[in-house]
Amino acid sequence: MSLALVDCPTGLAGNMLLAALFDLGLPQAALDAPLAALGLAGAYAIDLEERRSGGLRGLHLAVRGLEIDPPHRHWAELEATIAGAALEPQLKQRVLAVFGLLAEAEAQVHGQPAERVHFHEVGAIDALVDVVGVCAGLAHFGIDQLVCASPPAGHGTVQTAHGLLPLPVPAVLELARRRGIPLASSAGFPAGELTTPTGLALMAALAERFGPAPALVPQAVGIGLGSRQLDRPNLLRLVLAAESPAPPSRSASLEATGLPAGAGADWSGSGGTTAAGVGAGQAETALAETALPEIALAEILLQQQAQIDDATPEDLAFLADELRRAGALEVFSQPLLMKKGRPGVLLTVLARPEQAEGLRRIWWRQGTSLGVREQLQQRWALPRSSRELATPLGPVRLKQVELPAGERRSKPEFEDLAALARRHGLPLAQVRQIVAAALAQAELQP
C-alpha cells in the first residue's frame, strides 16, 4: 500500500496540490492525456516556475485558459462528458467524485439542483486541469492511502463571481459540514482566502481521513507554493511515504545480536526471568495481548519564543505572569548563553493558535525583545476532567486523567493543599496524606 500525506499549514488549493505532484516528478503527459480525452487539448497552458516563499523553495503553478470564448457548462453536461470520456476507470471515478461533491456543495449554498450548477461555479478550465491533474498524479504515483492535515480556511472577505463573499466561502463551509472535515484555526493569518472549494473538494473526495499522520517513513517530498504573500512560507507539502514498520520484538532484537532469548534479561538474578516471575517470552505475549487503544487527543498548539538578555529578573517574571494571565497554557524559561558571552533566557509560551495576536501584544508591551518566533506544534493529550473531593479538612479540587487501559489517575490541586495547610496549621505533607486517604476511600465507594 502506497501512502501519501498532505501537509497544508497555509491552506489547500488545487494548483498547490498539482504543483507538489509536479515537484515529485509527475510527467506532463500524465496530465495532458486525460485532459485530451475530455476534449481539452489546446484549451490551456501550464506555467510552472520554481520560486521561494519565506525562504523555502517549491514550485508555483498557474493555469492559463486559451479558449477564445470559454463555455459555461452546467454540471449535468460536464458529468456526461467525463462519464463518456476514454479515461481509466479509477481515474474517471475519482474525477466524477470530486466534481460531484463540489457541485452538490455549490447547489446547496445557491439553493438549486446540482445539475443546474454552472460550470464557472465548480471552476472553469483551471479547475478542470487541477482536478484531473491531481487525480491523475495520485494514480501515477500509485497512491491508494491519502491522509490530509486539517487546513485553515482563511478569514475576511474575497471577491468572487457572486460578489464579495465572507471567508471561509460558503462552498468550503458546506464541504466541511458534509464530510465532517475539521478546519484549523486561521487566527494569526493575514485576512484572505487560504482554502479554496476545489482544493477542499479534492481532499474531501480522495483523502481517507483528516488529522495527524500515522507513523511513516518519508520517501519523497513535493512542495507546491501558493500565490499569496503571507507572513510565513505559503506552501503545501505532499509526502510520499511507507508505513513505519512495527518495532522488532525483544527476542528478535536479541537474535540480531546473536544472544539467546533470555540473555540480558536477568535483572533479578533468577536466570532469565523478570522480577515479577514472568519469562521474556511470556512478557512479550502478555504485552501483545494487552495492546491498548489510542485514546489521546491530537491538538494543534502555538509556540511563541524569544531570547532575552536585556531584562531584569523582575521584568522577566512580570512578563511571564502577564502571559499566563492572558490565557497561555504554559510559560517557561531556560537559561542560555547568547552572543558576546552574555547570559540570557529563552522564554517559551504554549497557547491556542487563536490567542496569537493577544499574546503578541503582551510581548510588545511588557517585554524587551524586538521579535517573537512563532510556529504551530502538534500535542497529544490524554482526556482529562476535574471534580471536587470532600475531605476532613475541607473540599479539594482534583485533576483527573483517563489512561489507555481505562483507569483514572487523580492529582489534587496544589493551591488547595497549600490553602488547607495554612488554614489548619498543618505540614503540607500531612495534608497531602489526609487528602490521599480521602481519595482512596472515595474510589472504593460504588
HSE-up of residue 201 (Cα within 13 Å, Cβ side): 31
Q: What is the pLDDT of residue 295?
A: 59
| Alpha carbon distances (Å) from 280 to 132, 250, 258, 259, 292 | 54, 8, 16, 13, 20
If one compares 402 and 361, the residue with the highest pLDDT of the two is 361
Q: Mean pLDDT score of the chain, rounded to an integer? A: 84
What integer is the mean pLDDT of 78-107? 93
Q: Quick one: pLDDT at residue 445?
A: 65
Residue 214 near residue 243 (C-beta atoms within 8 A)? yes
Note the pLDDT of residue 245: 59
Rounded to whole angstroms, how far apart are CA atoms 387 and 382? 16
Q: List Cα–Cα distances, 405 to 249, 268, 296, 400, in angstroms.
A: 21, 27, 12, 14
Diameter of the chain measured on Cα atoms: 89
Scored b (16 or more CB within 10 A) or e, 206-231 reads bbeebeebeebeeeebbbbbbebebe
Contacts of residue 307, Cβ cutoff 8 Å, sequence gap at least 6: 336, 338, 344, 345, 346, 347, 369
Report the pLDDT value the prediction gives residue 244, as an integer from 0 to 100: 64
Most confident of 361-365, 406-410, 439-443: 361-365
Q: What is the DSSP letter of 339?
A: G
Sequence-distant (≥ 6) Cβ neighbours of residue 422 within 8 angstroms:
none
State how far the Cα of 273 lies from the Cα of 415, in Å rounded to an integer.
44
Which range has the worst mean pLDDT, 20-24, 166-170, 255-259, 415-419? 255-259
**How far, in Å, CA of 437 to CA of 126, rounded?**
69
Mean pLDDT in residue range 50-65: 94
The answer on pLDDT for 294 being more than 60 is no
Q: CA-based angle 370:154:56, to the nearest 5?
A: 55
Measured distance CA(412)–CA(437) in Å, rounded: 12
Q: What is the pLDDT of residues 304-327, one digit of tens each?
A: 999 999 999 999 999 999 999 999
For residue 250 the three cell numbers come to 525483544
